[in-house]
Structure 1
Amino acid sequence: MTPITTPYSGKNAPRILIAGAGVGGLTTALSLHAAGLDDVLVMESCPRLRAVGAGINLQPAAVRELTELGLGDDLAAHAVATARLEYHHRYGGLIWSEPRGRAAGYHWPQYSVHRARLQEVLLREVNRRLGPGTVRTGRRITGYEQDRSGDGPRRVRAYAAGDPAPYTCDLLIGADGINSAVRSVMHPGEGPPLWNGICMWRGVSHAPPFLDGRTMVIVGCNSRVKAVVYPVSPPDASGRCTLNWVVETRTGADGTPVPPADWDAAVAADAVLPHLAGWRVPFLDLHGTVAAAPRVLRYPMIDRDPLPSWTDGRVVLLGDAAHPLYPTGSNGASQAIVDARVLAYLVARHDDLDEALSRYDRMRRPETAVLLDAHRRLEPDPLLHQVELLAPDGFSDIRDVLPEHKLADIRSCTRKVTGVDAAGLNARSSWSVPARSAPACAWSTPSG
């Protein structure tokens, strides 16, 4: 797409309400502001935004967007530029290694970062650029209504728990996560998220770095247990860094209901360690890393089926509210950031808001549906499971286990779950909207 050249000013700008102050919601606010749309209000259900969560990955496609928003230096200061992805047998043997980020030919790095650090950067910039009253906490959007008759401007009335009167806006953006209330109104009767039977135990530990200090490793690769470990900070003065780790165990069947009790609750590391009994990884003290975590959380691996539409009049979905993904491709937050940039670009570029939302839906929904399918197949795990079957006691050289063409298939699988190639991303034109100075979009009549 070619950036818009028509001038614009913030005068008489539309009132835009964003449900959710996560990575997607805050990036949307920054993207709208950068595109000249400043009348933005973000509603967050949590009463106080706190530094919580664990590590996440930002693929180069997302890093490009945050860099073009002026956050490149902040990311570099808080994150680790991931250089390699490696798969290892539970006894340490190297199955596959491939470069990531700049080492893979992208113009932008791949970053591993603590979610809380990223959230802090985004929130600080929203407050600085749009004003400290932009994000209102303790207000969960529970539903919406909208005018659908007449020739005048259509407005959305969004309802928040505890507030007697609705919030009136020209556009409501549902960025309120996998249990989105906005999505539940847009698509009633959908039911709870879908569980694939895998339980994820997650934690962050202060521990020695491993390998080059910039490598993500996936260990195990059998059908029952897998571990993922990567640094989310550079080494400190003590020589240690913050390691994010996840241990996945299959405890149920694909498609079974999500167990209702005790999810998202802290558990003891002793509950995780038995799953790693007998594992030996020479370059990483996996057992010590898990045991060192001050807090361990357990989550089900869940998602939702693709939707037939992300739009309903002047209401639109974004991020996990639109397309929750398994974390197997390290791509959930990245896709929310891309959503935010595309949506802001199209809304600012079109005088016809309905056309802008329609284009966003036509562009992003099919792309994320392809990713969801690849993530559900847990690619490249099925191929890696063959290694366990063929060499359960380990190996010295993976080429004695799998032929070269089978190993090359792993590269194809990892590309499917990230969803973009270096040449395509490097060549694509920017989604930034140039500074503009003429009248506002025709659809943006202020709402009272």
Structure 2
Amino acid sequence: MKVIIIGGGIGGLCTALCLKKAGFEVKVFESVKEIKPLGVGINTLPHCVRVLTNLGLQEKIAQTAVETQDLLYFNRFGQKFWEEPRGRFAGYKWPQFSIHRGNLQMLLFEEVQQVIGTENVLTNHHLQEFQDNGNEVVATFINRENGEVILQEKGDILIGADGINSVVRKQLYPQEGGPCYSGNVLYRGTTWMKPFLSGSSMVMIGSLKQKMVAYPIDPRLDENGNQLINWVANLKEPDSEKITVRDWNRQADKARLVEIYKTWNFDWLDVPKMISEAPAVYEFPMSDRNPLDRWTFGRVTLLGDAAHPMYPIGSNGASQAILDADCLTEMLIKETDVLTALQKYDAERVPAAAKVVMQNRAKGPDQIMDMMEERFPTGFSTNEIPHDELETVMNHYKQIAGFDVQSLNQKL
């Protein structure tokens, strides 16, 4: 069986590795001329690290990632109201990793080239259209610069793993329109600075109106003992300043951001200094799409951000794409009939991913930030923290996203 994968991002590359390991013929097509390490930090949670471990990649990832030890929530005054261990520190069989998105993508890209052969990973091939002929799929690729057709590829299955602006999804749903903008803008940067808290902590500060996320993404320290910290500022923007351009390279006004966060100087983290010492700051509108009723049409299906783009809340975007890859491979192994396998993949992953998309729209685990801000706008005393309520929210999200420790640890 031959599988055509559209998209060389994290989801598409993991799918290629999973399918090749299962014995399928795989070919990956990427639109850009050269795959580069774009983006900033991401987290891979234990449920997807399980998949990466089964692909033999855990040790390689660990060399360039930080194994996250704990997750802590603070209000805008720097008061801690929630703390929990993560990954293996929380009793999971698998770690949670914080890593530069580009490093993970390049690691996967190099692995895919080795496993399926460089001749089966084609860049600068933009999908123009596909046709499902019943017994095969034919994909037509063009050179985006001149629009010339450069290849027609035939396969048994076509997987659209081509991101939030997926060509495959647009052909399946031509009337859908663009992404849904949340009204929040993410400001992303990385800064070499002294480690904070445990040195492998992930922190959430503030509320959804004004939030800061920070965590280390490189296990190495420089000659001054500094660590590479990834940070994301999340601001609710007025309609007059609304942006909708999704571009990893769109630079923002760093000085403005420093001014907005100027009072967020805590004894464990100096936020304005962290922002000011970043080489550059990039802005990115927080967007998703409405969940679909189905991803699969005949021999064509969707995966990752092409299927379920979601707000980056709860560290689940890349993780859910990797879960898609694992599930799709499992169904193709179990079922001799391709169409049945794709329908079973659809039946399992469509509702599961939709729940995560909608839960993230409802603030996911970060709803505890707004809960604390609304109840204690001027701060709180330790005995006022509603521990049981916070724990209920956090545990509920783990169950929805598929990484509650009891269920996950039963898997191989």
When normalised by structure 1's length, the TM-score is 0.86
- SS of the equivalent of 2:358 reads helix
Q: What CA distance in whole angstroms lies between the structure 2 residues aligned with 1:408 and 1:425? A: 19
Rg comparison, structure with higher value: 1
Aligned partners of 2:395 and 2:404 also within 8 Å:
no
The equivalent of 2:325 in structure 1 is 340
Q: What CA distance in whole angstroms lies between the structure 1 residues aligned with 2:244 and 2:98? A: 31
1:408-446 deviation line (CA, Å, top 9, x unaligned):
334335425643211111112x4xxxxxxxxxxxxxxxx
The equivalent of 1:282 in structure 2 is 267
Q: Which moved more, 1:355-364 or 1:371-380?
A: 371-380
The CA deviation at 1:17 is 0.9
The equivalent of 1:130 in structure 2 is 116
Aligned with residue 52 of structure 1, among 15, 18, 38: 38
The CA deviation at 1:391 is 3.1
The equivalent of 1:4 in structure 2 is none
Q: What CA distance in whole angstroms lies between the structure 1 residues aligned with 2:331 and 2:242? A: 37
Q: What CA distance in whole angstroms lies between the structure 2 residues aligned with 1:298 and 1:257? A: 12
Q: What CA distance in whole angstroms lies between the structure 2 residues aligned with 1:185 and 1:345? A: 26
CA gap 1:414/1:270 in 2 versus in 1, 3 angstroms:
farther
1:233 matched to 2:214: no
1:373 matched to 2:363: no
The CA deviation at 1:172 is 0.6
Q: What CA distance in whole angstroms lies between the structure 2 residues aligned with 1:119 and 1:161? A: 24
Unmatched segments (≥5 aa) in structure 2: 144-148
Q: What CA distance in whole angstroms lies between the structure 2 residues aligned with 1:206 and 1:164? A: 44
Identical positions, percent: 39
The equivalent of 2:140 in structure 1 is 159
Q: What CA distance in whole angstroms lies between the structure 2 residues aligned with 1:418 and 1:252? A: 31
CA gap 1:417/1:279 in 2 versus in 1, 3 angstroms:
farther
Aligned partners of 1:142 and 1:182 also within 8 Å:
no
Q: Matches of residues 306-325 of structure 1 in structure 2 within 5 Å?
A: 306-325=291-310
- SS of the equivalent of 1:166 reads strand
Q: What CA distance in whole angstroms lies between the structure 2 residues aligned with 1:323 and 1:367? A: 10
The equivalent of 2:146 in structure 1 is none
- SS of the equivalent of 1:191 reads coil
The equivalent of 1:434 in structure 2 is none
1:251-289 deviation line (CA, Å, top 9, x unaligned):
147xx9973458541223213222213223210121111
Q: What CA distance in whole angstroms lies between the structure 1 residues aligned with 2:22 and 2:109? A: 18
Q: What CA distance in whole angstroms lies between the structure 2 residues aligned with 1:404 and 1:69? A: 38
When normalised by structure 2's length, the TM-score is 0.93
Q: Which moved more, 1:408-417 or 1:285-294?
A: 408-417
The equivalent of 1:9 in structure 2 is none
Aligned with residue 398 of structure 1, among 382, 388, 393: 382
Aligned with residue 194 of structure 1, among 162, 180, 197: 180
The equivalent of 1:425 in structure 2 is 408
Amino acid at match of 1:399: N
CA gap 1:93/1:123 in 2 versus in 1, 3 angstroms:
same
1:76 matched to 2:62: yes
Q: What CA distance in whole angstroms lies between the structure 1 residues aligned with 2:33 and 2:243? A: 27
- Measured on the aligned residues, the alpha-carbon RMSD in Å equals 1.9
- SS of the equivalent of 2:313 reads helix
Aligned partners of 2:246 and 2:284 also within 8 Å:
no
Aligned partners of 1:59 and 1:418 also within 8 Å:
no
Aligned partners of 1:19 and 1:175 also within 8 Å:
yes
